[in-house]
Amino acid sequence: SHHRGNNAMAQHSRIEADADPADLSNLARLLVESWNRGDARAFACLFTPAAEYVTGAGERIRGRKAISALLDKAAPAAHVSVVGQPVVRCDASSAEVTFMWSGADAGGGPRRGSITCACIRQGSGWLIEALHNNEAGDVAESRGGPTRS
Protein backbone atom coordinates (compact mmCIF):
# COMPACT_ATOMS: atom_id res chain seq x y z
CA SER A 1 0.00 0.00 0.00
CA HIS A 2 2.98 2.28 0.62
CA HIS A 3 3.93 2.02 -3.05
CA ARG A 4 0.46 2.98 -4.24
CA GLY A 5 0.66 6.09 -2.06
CA ASN A 6 3.77 7.20 -3.91
CA ASN A 7 2.04 6.85 -7.25
CA ALA A 8 -0.81 9.05 -6.09
CA MET A 9 1.75 11.68 -5.06
CA ALA A 10 3.46 11.60 -8.45
CA GLN A 11 0.14 12.00 -10.22
CA HIS A 12 -0.84 14.87 -7.96
CA SER A 13 2.35 16.81 -8.65
CA ARG A 14 1.90 16.36 -12.38
CA ILE A 15 -1.60 17.83 -12.21
CA GLU A 16 -0.18 20.57 -9.99
CA ALA A 17 2.40 21.47 -12.65
CA ASP A 18 -0.21 22.31 -15.27
CA ALA A 19 -1.05 26.00 -15.15
CA ASP A 20 -4.73 26.85 -15.07
CA PRO A 21 -5.52 29.87 -17.29
CA ALA A 22 -8.52 30.60 -15.05
CA ASP A 23 -6.14 31.34 -12.17
CA LEU A 24 -4.43 33.95 -14.33
CA SER A 25 -7.67 35.53 -15.52
CA ASN A 26 -8.58 35.71 -11.85
CA LEU A 27 -5.28 37.46 -11.08
CA ALA A 28 -6.16 40.15 -13.66
CA ARG A 29 -9.58 40.55 -12.04
CA LEU A 30 -8.07 40.86 -8.54
CA LEU A 31 -5.62 43.44 -9.87
CA VAL A 32 -8.41 45.64 -11.24
CA GLU A 33 -10.69 45.12 -8.24
CA SER A 34 -8.05 46.08 -5.68
CA TRP A 35 -7.08 49.11 -7.82
CA ASN A 36 -10.70 50.25 -7.98
CA ARG A 37 -11.11 49.78 -4.21
CA GLY A 38 -7.96 51.80 -3.62
CA ASP A 39 -6.64 48.86 -1.61
CA ALA A 40 -2.90 49.45 -1.94
CA ARG A 41 -1.98 46.50 0.25
CA ALA A 42 -4.09 43.95 -1.66
CA PHE A 43 -2.85 45.43 -4.97
CA ALA A 44 0.83 45.24 -4.01
CA CYS A 45 0.47 41.66 -2.71
CA LEU A 46 -0.28 40.48 -6.27
CA PHE A 47 3.31 41.36 -7.23
CA THR A 48 6.64 39.72 -6.43
CA PRO A 49 8.70 41.73 -3.89
CA ALA A 50 11.04 43.01 -6.63
CA ALA A 51 8.43 43.42 -9.38
CA GLU A 52 8.67 46.10 -12.07
CA TYR A 53 5.65 48.22 -12.97
CA VAL A 54 5.66 50.45 -16.05
CA THR A 55 2.90 53.08 -15.98
CA GLY A 56 0.93 54.43 -18.93
CA ALA A 57 3.23 57.47 -18.88
CA GLY A 58 6.27 55.20 -19.20
CA GLU A 59 7.45 55.63 -15.62
CA ARG A 60 9.27 52.57 -14.25
CA ILE A 61 8.47 51.62 -10.68
CA ARG A 62 10.36 48.87 -8.89
CA GLY A 63 9.39 46.84 -5.86
CA ARG A 64 6.23 46.05 -3.97
CA LYS A 65 6.54 49.05 -1.65
CA ALA A 66 6.77 51.56 -4.52
CA ILE A 67 3.90 49.82 -6.33
CA SER A 68 1.78 50.14 -3.21
CA ALA A 69 2.61 53.86 -3.04
CA LEU A 70 1.50 54.23 -6.67
CA LEU A 71 -2.03 53.30 -5.69
CA ASP A 72 -1.96 55.73 -2.76
CA LYS A 73 -1.22 58.51 -5.26
CA ALA A 74 -3.84 57.43 -7.81
CA ALA A 75 -7.00 59.51 -7.89
CA PRO A 76 -10.03 57.70 -6.52
CA ALA A 77 -11.64 58.63 -9.83
CA ALA A 78 -9.18 56.39 -11.68
CA HIS A 79 -11.72 53.56 -11.89
CA VAL A 80 -10.96 51.01 -14.59
CA SER A 81 -12.87 48.12 -16.13
CA VAL A 82 -11.55 45.06 -17.92
CA VAL A 83 -12.73 45.01 -21.53
CA GLY A 84 -13.46 41.52 -22.84
CA GLN A 85 -11.57 38.44 -21.67
CA PRO A 86 -7.92 38.45 -20.58
CA VAL A 87 -5.63 36.58 -22.98
CA VAL A 88 -3.49 34.06 -21.13
CA ARG A 89 -0.36 32.28 -22.36
CA CYS A 90 1.21 29.96 -19.81
CA ASP A 91 3.45 27.00 -19.15
CA ALA A 92 4.08 25.23 -15.85
CA SER A 93 5.98 28.01 -14.09
CA SER A 94 5.53 31.26 -16.00
CA ALA A 95 2.73 33.05 -17.79
CA GLU A 96 1.78 36.18 -19.64
CA VAL A 97 -1.62 37.80 -19.17
CA THR A 98 -2.83 40.63 -21.40
CA PHE A 99 -6.10 42.47 -21.01
CA MET A 100 -7.71 45.61 -22.38
CA TRP A 101 -8.98 48.22 -19.96
CA SER A 102 -11.04 51.36 -20.12
CA GLY A 103 -11.71 54.09 -17.60
CA ALA A 104 -11.90 57.81 -17.05
CA ASP A 105 -9.35 60.31 -15.82
CA ALA A 106 -9.98 62.73 -12.95
CA GLY A 107 -11.57 65.19 -15.38
CA GLY A 108 -13.96 62.57 -16.75
CA GLY A 109 -12.12 62.15 -20.05
CA PRO A 110 -12.04 58.63 -21.49
CA ARG A 111 -8.91 56.53 -21.08
CA ARG A 112 -8.12 53.10 -22.38
CA GLY A 113 -5.22 50.82 -23.03
CA SER A 114 -3.89 47.35 -22.45
CA ILE A 115 -1.97 45.80 -19.61
CA THR A 116 0.51 42.96 -19.99
CA CYS A 117 1.62 41.06 -16.91
CA ALA A 118 4.55 38.65 -16.81
CA CYS A 119 3.69 36.23 -14.02
CA ILE A 120 5.57 33.50 -12.20
CA ARG A 121 4.28 30.51 -10.30
CA GLN A 122 4.58 30.86 -6.53
CA GLY A 123 3.44 27.77 -4.67
CA SER A 124 -0.16 27.16 -5.66
CA GLY A 125 -0.73 30.69 -6.96
CA TRP A 126 0.75 33.28 -9.27
CA LEU A 127 2.48 36.62 -8.74
CA ILE A 128 3.18 39.40 -11.21
CA GLU A 129 6.87 39.89 -11.93
CA ALA A 130 6.46 42.73 -14.42
CA LEU A 131 3.47 44.82 -15.48
CA HIS A 132 3.36 47.11 -18.51
CA ASN A 133 0.46 49.50 -18.90
CA ASN A 134 0.23 50.58 -22.55
CA GLU A 135 -2.11 53.50 -22.63
CA ALA A 136 -3.79 54.23 -25.95
CA GLY A 137 -3.96 57.66 -27.57
CA ASP A 138 -1.91 60.70 -26.68
CA VAL A 139 -2.92 60.68 -23.02
CA ALA A 140 0.44 59.25 -22.05
CA GLU A 141 2.34 62.14 -23.62
CA SER A 142 0.04 64.88 -22.36
CA ARG A 143 0.45 63.71 -18.76
CA GLY A 144 3.64 63.47 -16.82
CA GLY A 145 5.89 66.04 -18.50
CA PRO A 146 9.18 65.16 -20.19
CA THR A 147 9.89 61.46 -20.49
CA ARG A 148 13.69 61.73 -20.40
CA SER A 149 15.34 62.81 -17.19
Summarize pLDDT for 28-72 with one digit per residue, the tens. Answer: 999 999 999 989 999 999 999 999 999 988 999 999 999 999 887
Q: Which of 4, 88, 86, 101 is nearest to 55 (CA)?
A: 101
**C-beta separation of 46 from 39 below 8 A:** no
pTM metric for this prediction: 0.77
What is the rounded distance in angstroms from the CA atom of residue 113 to the CA atom of residue 69? 22
Percent of the chain with pLDDT over 70: 77
Predicted pLDDT of residue 101? 94
Q: What is the mean pLDDT of residues 102-107?
A: 80
Three-class DSSP category at 29: helix
Task: Compute the radius of gyration of the chain from its Cα atoms.
Answer: 18
What is the rounded distance in angstroms from the CA atom of residue 15 to the CA atom of residue 133? 32
